[in-house]
Amino acid sequence: MNLVRSNVAKMDGYTPGEQPRDRSYVKLNTNENPYPPSPAVFRAVHEFDPGRLRLYSEPLSLELRELAGAPFGLDRDWVLAGNGSDDLLTIALRTFVDQGGLCAYTHPSYSLYPVLVDLQGARHAAIELDEEFGLPADLVQQATGASLLIVCRPNAPTGNVFPLDTMHRVCAEFPGVVWIDEAYGDFAADSCLDFVRQYPNVVVSHTMSKSYSLAGLRLGFAFADPGLIAEMLKVKDSYNLDMMTQAVGAAALRDRDYMLANCQRVRATRDTLVATLDSLGFHTLPSQTNFILTRPPMAADRMFVALRERGYLVRYFRDPRIADRLRVSIGTDAEMAGFVQAVRAILAAETQA
Ligand SMILES: *Cc1c(COP(=O)(O)O)cnc(C)c1O
């Protein structure tokens, strides 16, 4: 007798980036924000009354949804709040993809998507990005038969954006739900958020993990036509956001300017880093995120190990399409200066060998 559903027994779980405990590293491996969250978050944590935890949290996260929609002129019935945007993606699969149904997503992209498809017991259409990691011209044709198409923009782990007019065409032509994962949207020059007003089949998701420096809080939002939001509300856990997250998240959302200023700092650091690395012989993809995907002038896996030995943790993917590259999250200016120093030392040792 099998104790486990066959699709679960067969699948590999998602592998998150390491959160090492063996020594202290400069963590440039999971796209966390190097800056602390807003001072308003510190105050909200301090002022939170634990006596309230006796009660259940407010199930519909009404205040959070209102605050999250406001900057975009969207009422709360256009917004769904999730326990991180990973929770929202799980809700997406459970709402829009039948067991045995088809889910399309691009590759290389966020490696959680195929894991969620397996969990749902659905079939995959992994659609290859082109040579420059752009969307293939026949994306919609390749996604034929899928009820859900997930596109990450800016894309992870490549960092690039797809042109807005291409995104418009995909959303207009694809007959199912198009889920646009904008986990890094706050770092980008433009956004597809407005699409939700125009296309009743489009969902755009955001997270507070990266731009708001709140990865540990677990809070994300999906924006869509109220018709789709209402269906997803049926699927979410009844109390999917705890009371502390609701209080702290609301404080952070009220201080959006702090987040935007941090994004600006991260972008400036990123552009300096890219120029420096490229002068050292790296080739870096244009990034609109808080990370870069860069090809070092030596084997990427060996550079990964050498960086680790020097206390810098970056992300190396064995995926053959990007196995010659490293993904480096943007830290503070001081962290990046140290990183560049380590890189120079590794390259010098490499030329001597
Ligand atoms: C980080 C990330 C998410 C998930 O973020 P949460 O921490 O679950 O909100 C979703 N999509 C992409 C592409 C990401 O990089």
The alpha carbon of 52 is separated from its chain's Cα centroid by a whole number of angstroms, namely: 32
Give the strand pairing for 26-27 and 102-107: unpaired
Residue 27 Cα to ligand 1 midpoint, Å, equals 17
Residue 82 Cα to ligand 1 midpoint, Å, equals 11
Instruction: Give Cα 315 distance to the centre of its chain.
Output: 14
Residues enclosing ligand 1, CB less than 6 A? 31, 84-86, 110, 152, 156, 181, 183, 207, 209, 215, 220
- The pLDDT confidence band at residue 303, using thresholds 50, 70 and 90, is very high
Task: Please report the pLDDT score of residue 252 as a whole number.
Answer: 98
Overall average pLDDT of the 295-306 stretch: 98
Q: Which of 213, 216, 210 is nearest to 290 (CA)?
A: 210
Q: Decide: 103 and 125 in contact? Cβ < 8 Å.
A: yes
The model carries a pTM of 0.96
- The burial class, CB within 10 Å (0-12 / 13-18 / 19+), for 89 is buried
Q: How confident is the model at residue 290 (pLDDT cuts 50, 70, 90)?
A: very high
Question: What Cα–Cα distance (Å) separates residue 323 from each residue in 86, 180, 193, 299, 300?
Answer: 25, 25, 32, 9, 7
User: Left, alpha or beta for 121 (phi > 0: left; psi -120 to 50: alpha)?
Assistant: left
DSSP state at residue 315: B
Mutate which of 87, 105, 192, 207 for ligand 1 pocket (most atoms within 8 A of beta carbon): 207
Separation of CA 85 and ligand 1 centre (Å): 6
User: What contacts 211, CB < 8 A, 6 or more positions away?
Assistant: 33, 184, 185, 186, 187, 259, 262, 263, 290
Class of domain 39-255: alpha beta
User: Which atom from ligand 1 is nearest to the alpha carbon of 109?
Assistant: 13
Q: Which atom from ligand 1 is nearest to the alpha carbon of 181?
A: 11
Nearest Cα residue to 328 out of 290, 275, 278: 290
CATH of domain 6-36+257-352: 3.90.1150.10
Ligand 1 centroid–CA 31 distance in Å is: 9
For the chain, what are the domain ranges? Answer: 6-36+257-352, 39-255
Q: What is the Cα–Cα distance from 221 to 208, expressed in whole angstroms?
A: 8
How far is Cα 159 from Cα 290, in angstroms, rounded to an integer? 8
> pLDDT tens digits, residue range 210-223?
999 999 999 999 99
The SS3 of residue 7 is helix
User: Hey, which bits of 75-130 come out as E strands?
Assistant: 79-82, 102-107, 123-128
Q: Which amino acid is at 227?
A: G
Instruction: State mean pLDDT over 65-76.
Output: 98
6-36+257-352 and 39-255 share one fold: no
For the chain, what is the mean pLDDT? 96
Q: What is the pLDDT of residues 6-36, one digit of tens each?
A: 888 888 888 777 777 777 899 999 999 999 9
- The letter for the amino acid at 17 is G
CA distance 174 to 161: 19
Mean pLDDT, to the nearest integer, of 331-343?
98
Comparing 4-8, 15-19, 120-124, 249-253, which segment has the lowest mean pLDDT? 15-19
Ranges assigned E (strand) in the chain: 26-27, 79-82, 102-107, 123-128, 148-152, 177-181, 202-207, 220-223, 283-284, 291-295, 312-313, 326-329
What pLDDT digit, counting tens, does each position of 173-209 carry?
999 999 999 999 999 999 999 999 999 999 999 999 9
Which position has the token pair 């609701």?
Answer: 246
